[in-house]
Amino acid sequence: MNKITDIFGYISSKQMNLEYIEKILLQALDQKQDMYKVPDTDIVVYIGIPNDSILDEYKKGAVQDLLICNRNIAYIIKNNQVIVIAGYVIVN
């Protein structure tokens, strides 16, 4: 079982609320694949550490913070932009 522990959002809550973010992250993690396309949207969830080339300094800092805390990482892309970086743990 996966538990989302941290969410760094770079989109307004009016565009995507926390409950929806958590829902699609958990759906992606349940698929056990590196990439999950959310049906009927232009949203893609990736599991793993994002490439530095798609991150600004703030997002790179978020990734580093999660790695320091020993979190697994997932991130959400919409319109070719990273809009969420999340940390999660695997709970038995």
**Tens digit of pLDDT at every position of the chain (92 positions):** 999 999 999 999 999 999 999 999 999 999 989 999 999 999 999 999 999 999 999 999 999 999 999 999 999 999 999 999 999 999 98
Task: Note the pLDDT of residue 92.
Answer: 82
Q: For the chain, what is the domain count?
A: 1
Cα distance between residue 37 and residue 28, in whole Å? 8
CB 74 within 8 A of CB 25: yes
Cβ-count burial of 75 within 10 angstroms (0-12 exposed, 13-18 middle, 19+ buried)? buried
Task: Note the pLDDT of residue 73.
Answer: 99
Q: Which domain holds residue 37?
A: 2-90
Cα distance between residue 38 and residue 66, in whole Å? 24
pTM score: 0.94
